[in-house]
Amino acid sequence: PENTAELRPTHPLAIAPVVAPAASVDGFAKQFLQNLNFDQGVTLSNSDVNDQYLALAYTVRDYLMARWFDDRAQQKAQQNKTVCYLSAEYLLGRQLDNNLLAARLTDIATEALAQCGIDIDDLRQVEIEPGLGNGGLGRLAACFIDSLATMSIPTIGYGIRYEYGIFRQAFNEGQQVEQPDAWLRMGSPWDFAHPEAAQTISFAGTTETYDDEGVERTRWVPEWNVLAVPYNMMVPGYHNGRVNTLRLWRAVATNAFDLHTFNSGDYVESVRAQTFAENISKVLYPEDSTPQGKELRLQQQYFFVAASIADFIENVLPDDFEIEKLPERVIFQLNDTHPVIGVPELMRVLVDEKKLEWDAAWAITQKCFAYTCHTLLPEALEVWSVDLLGHLLPRHLEIIYRINDEFLLEVRERFGDDEMLIRNMSIIGEHPSRSVRMAYLATVAGSKVNGVAELHSQLLRDNVLKDFATMWPDKFTNVTNGVTPRRFLRLANPDLSSLITEALGAGWTVDLERLRGLEALADDADFRERFAAVKASNKRRLSSVLEARGEAPLDDGHMLDVMIKRLHEYKRQTLKVLHIVSTYEGIVSGRLDVDEVQARTFLFGAKAAPGYGMAKRIIHLINAVGEVVSADERVKGKLKVVYPANYNVTLAERIIPAADLSEQISLAGKEASGTGNMKLALNGALTIGTDDGANVEIRKLVGDDNFFLFGMSEPEVEQLWAEGYRPADFYQKDERLRSAIDLIASGAFSGGDRTVFEPLVSNLLYEDRFMALADFSTYLDAQDRVDAAYADQDGWVRSAILNVARSGYFSSDRAMRDYLDRIWHATPVS
């Protein structure tokens, strides 16, 4: 509305500060009932659980609102730098409990609802989690914004409000089927639309030069536009009264868009065209680590980044802001390459719209961006074909060319006319076809480039971005990932949290290093007993969750061995299956004495990208093996496989506190960091893992005695590749491996049909890109050590406690401090 600035209210209530409802049981109940009546339009007696859940969510939101207004006003008024986290994914998980906890409302809400005759637990179950991400990268973004709010750092998380998040997974005869995730269908109480703050985002068309009072300038003449409508979500800090913003953009057709086609006389076509525009934010791409060069994906990326940059400049900065000072007020953190198109976009804004000189604009741009790389897999490094990018964003391609020209001049100045080096460093790749290498663009433009664990950052410097690291050694840094202790310990594991608070006081929730204080208690038999009782009770809790989903309950006395992460060959779920099959085969063939085998439940949680055939075959194999092994009486119930469908954040919060053993078995050098590994260690699971990603740092901290290491190191992997890896040799050499693979190939898990898993078996024998066979024997040896360790329960629990005590480093609060010190240099609001 144009008139907002002209409102001249005289009513005393209208000029008083916004106040939250009273923080009491009565205050809460009153607000809740009001929301039920006036927002949901039902009376208490006519309401169903969804009405009640929505009214409850609105009530929590009402408490946060005044704080949020304050923080936004302050953000505009103050001179502090704002962290703008640009991420195509935010894997938020359920909001209700987190927001209740942050605002200290859990007890009040529970009691108020009880007085209304409602069990708050019933409402918790109603919430559909916003699954606006694939896996680790999206969940990391969610942990980071939680920590930044808790640390009072002014932050805006910018992203996309996908209408459909990550698909729902179901199994049909053991095979994955995907269903759309209609998460908005029952209402979305945690966000609210601001259509008045919409941005117009342009695409395609041409560029032209024109004379601007004697200066030749370029302008973009786009062909079509969409509206980006912001939806705000509140991001409350834990117990500090601060509320930051997560602003997610939704694509809506512009009026002009309608009008254009409407004027051509085709009403139906004009309505159809709306769908075209609105498709941009329709669905999250479900590939984790293997993006495809689809035009719609580039549209999504440009759509949210352009809207975010414009929003920050126009709405967050004060009206009279001098654009030259932009680097003092913002850092745009690029979460992987997905938002990197923001680099040429900011250049376009500064040069074409704000009419700055190129060099001045470039100096500003370089200070405003920093880039986090999350992978090393070559197939995951995003490239866009020059044709596609030039067609969709012609002005941006011109700008990228100029950035590249000037960058390559700099390379020549530094290193001479080394044409191969120039080819290797060019932002434009020529082979197999002309394309823009987004990681290179981000590296050239960013003030800093970081990897997500020490090993990963080192490999970035030594391999993928080696020449850039030689040119700019100071640009490269590491920030090891972290996870939020609020969601993944305090909320997910309330019993362990109470135990810790009783022992150490409550401060650990915001100062996780305090968990060190538990070290001394690892030798206290009484504490160990209580710790073990918590683990047992968490297993029972998980068991009922599984039962409610139609799975078999967990068996008492089983070690809970979990592998929960996206299904990907490099993560090597297949290696885990080979261990299960080998143990099963050993029992059946008599090689192993069943009475000597440690009873275990193997729990998998994993979605495969819908187009990733091999990953889907592995899912099928896990389910097929599970069915046979769990039912075979010869193993006397000692081996169980459970694979609940649709692993997501909500389920993770139940599995992690119950886990005994954490499987982190990627091929060394392939897992950039991992964050599930941190969550599991923090909740007292012991890790069996390779020297990869953050496992390296976990092992260093928890100690070799409390971690089961196996497998080749990264240099050993490189060496074996260089020598020529022949997986079949390993098959020939190791009888246990041979028997396991033969059993799968024989059709034992596919009703005698040898064809079903043949592609998988052949792949292992003749290709095995991720060297599962090479690591098989040391993996089995490590599993034997696990069994022996578990047999000594006292020793195991001691190790579990030490894992918790020494995992404080993996708090995302620490990660945020590292980003602040090394990259952002932003300070808290007072």
What is the CB neighbour count within 10 angstroms for residue 538?
Answer: 24
State which residue, 105 or 772, has the beta carbon closest to ligand B1N: 772
Question: HEC states along 589-613?
Answer: HCCCCHHHCCCEEEEEECCCCCCCH
The answer to whether 814 is a known catalytic residue is no
From 35, 47, 244, 481, residue interacting with ligand B1N (rule: CB under 6 A)? 481
Torsion of CA 694, 142, 615, 780, to 10 degrees: 30
Binders of ligand B1N among residues 327 to 356 (CB under 6 A) are 336
Compose the 290-309 pattern: x for residues touching ligand B1N by CB under 6 A, - for all others: -x------------------
State which residue, 618 or 741, has the beta carbon closest to ligand B1N: 618
Binders of ligand B1N among residues 434 to 453 (CB under 6 A) are 452
675 binds ligand B1N (CB under 6 A): yes
Q: Residue number with the shortest CB distance to ligand B1N? A: 136
Among the candidate windows 372-380, 537-545, 653-661, 728-736, which touches ligand B1N by CB under 6 A? 372-380
Closest separation between CB of residue 435 and ligand B1N, Å? 17
Closest separation between CB of residue 254 and ligand B1N, Å? 28
Number of residues this chain uses to bind ligand B1N (CB under 6 A): 21
State which residue, 612 or 796, has the beta carbon closest to ligand B1N: 612
Amino acid at 157: G
Q: Which of 509, 650, 675, 687 is catalytic?
A: 675
- Tokens representing residue 11 in the block: 């009513």
Closest separation between CB of residue 89 and ligand B1N, Å? 6
Binders of ligand B1N among residues 541 to 600 (CB under 6 A) are none
Closest separation between CB of residue 462 and ligand B1N, Å? 18
Binders of ligand B1N among residues 750 to 769 (CB under 6 A) are none
Closest separation between CB of residue 599 and ligand B1N, Å? 31
Amino acid at 717: V
136 binds ligand B1N (CB under 6 A): yes
From 108, 137, 234, 567, residue interacting with ligand B1N (rule: CB under 6 A)? 137
State which residue, 381 or 594, has the beta carbon closest to ligand B1N: 381
The answer to whether 374 is a known catalytic residue is yes
288 binds ligand B1N (CB under 6 A): yes
Q: Which of 456, 566, 640, 814 is catalytic?
A: 566
Instruction: Look at residue 356 and give its three-state secondary structure.
Output: coil
Helices (H), 203-266: 255-263
State which residue, 133 or 644, has the beta carbon closest to ligand B1N: 133
Among the candidate windows 191-199, 225-233, 285-293, 793-801, which touches ligand B1N by CB under 6 A? 285-293
Q: What are phi and psi of 321, to 5 degrees?
A: -65, 135
The answer to whether 391 is a known catalytic residue is no
Instruction: Look at residue 702 and give its three-state secondary structure.
Output: helix
- Tokens representing residue 672 in the block: 């950039």
The answer to whether 354 is a known catalytic residue is no
Cβ–Cβ under 8 Å, residues 666 and 456: no
The answer to whether 675 is a known catalytic residue is yes
| Secondary structure element (H or E) that encloses residue 217, with its range | strand 215-221
Cα angle 227, 368, 445 (rounded to 5 degrees) comes to 95
- Tokens representing residue 701 in the block: 């901290």
| Angstrom distance (rounded) from CA 614 to CA 574 | 11
Total length of the chain? 830
| Angstrom distance (rounded) from CA 335 to CA 313 | 20
With tokens 């006389």, the residue in question is 265
538 binds ligand B1N (CB under 6 A): no
Q: Which of 94, 374, 448, 620 is catalytic?
A: 374
| Angstrom distance (rounded) from CA 429 to CA 384 | 10
The residues facing 428 across adjacent strands are 436
| Angstrom distance (rounded) from CA 821 to CA 815 | 10
672 binds ligand B1N (CB under 6 A): yes
From 134, 147, 404, 497, residue interacting with ligand B1N (rule: CB under 6 A)? 134
| Secondary structure element (H or E) that encloses residue 56, with its range | helix 49-77
Cβ–Cβ under 8 Å, residues 36 and 55: yes
626 binds ligand B1N (CB under 6 A): no
51 binds ligand B1N (CB under 6 A): no
Strand ranges in 606-761 using DSSP code E only, listed in sequence order: 639-642, 661-664, 686-689, 707-709
Among the candidate windows 262-270, 410-418, 673-681, 748-756, which touches ligand B1N by CB under 6 A? 673-681
Question: HEC states along 470-527?
Answer: HHCHHHEEECCCCECHHHHHHHCCHHHHHHHHHHHCHHHHCCHHHHHHHHHHHHCHHH
| Angstrom distance (rounded) from CA 556 to CA 252 | 53
Among the candidate windows 135-143, 610-618, 699-707, 735-743, which touches ligand B1N by CB under 6 A? 135-143
The answer to whether 679 is a known catalytic residue is yes
Q: Positive or negative CA dihedral for 72, 482, 340, 648?
A: negative
Compose the 681-710 pattern: x for residues touching ligand B1N by CB under 6 A, - for all others: ------------x-----------------
289 binds ligand B1N (CB under 6 A): yes
The residues facing 246 across adjacent strands are 157, 233
Among the candidate windows 115-123, 133-141, 196-204, 298-306, which touches ligand B1N by CB under 6 A? 133-141
816 binds ligand B1N (CB under 6 A): no
Closest separation between CB of residue 647 and ligand B1N, Å? 16
Helices (H), 254-334: 255-263, 267-278, 295-311, 326-329
Closest CA to 158 of 352, 288, 338, 399: 338
Give the rounded distance of the alpha carbon of 740 from its chain centre.
35
From 113, 140, 562, 680, residue interacting with ligand B1N (rule: CB under 6 A)? 140
Strand ranges in 379-489 using DSSP code E only, listed in sequence order: 383-385, 428-429, 435-437, 449-451, 476-478
What is the CB neighbour count within 10 angstroms for residue 754?
Answer: 13
Strand ranges in 292-406 using DSSP code E only, listed in sequence order: 330-335, 369-372, 383-385
State which residue, 394 or 693, has the beta carbon closest to ligand B1N: 693
At what angle are helices 772-791 and 758-766 packed, to 10 degrees? 100
Among the candidate windows 158-166, 286-294, 343-351, 396-404, which touches ligand B1N by CB under 6 A? 286-294
State which residue, 71 or 691, has the beta carbon closest to ligand B1N: 691
Q: Which of 94, 395, 565, 607 is catalytic?
A: 565
State which residue, 356 or 464, has the beta carbon closest to ligand B1N: 464
State which residue, 311 or 653, has the beta carbon closest to ligand B1N: 653
Q: Which of 571, 579, 616, 806 is catalytic?
A: 571
State which residue, 289 or 538, has the beta carbon closest to ligand B1N: 289
Compose the 380-399 pattern: x for residues touching ligand B1N by CB under 6 A, - for all others: x-------------------
Closest separation between CB of residue 672 and ligand B1N, Å? 4
Q: Which of 600, 679, 699, 814 is catalytic?
A: 679
Cβ–Cβ under 8 Å, residues 35 and 109: no
Residue 521 CB burial class (10 angstroms; 0-12, 13-18, ≥19): buried
Binders of ligand B1N among residues 452 to 471 (CB under 6 A) are 452
Among the candidate windows 134-142, 177-185, 208-216, 408-416, which touches ligand B1N by CB under 6 A? 134-142
Contact positions vs ligand B1N (CB under 6 A): 134, 136-137, 140, 285, 287-289, 291, 336, 374-375, 380, 452, 481, 671-675, 693
**Known catalytic residues?**
374, 565-566, 571, 675, 679
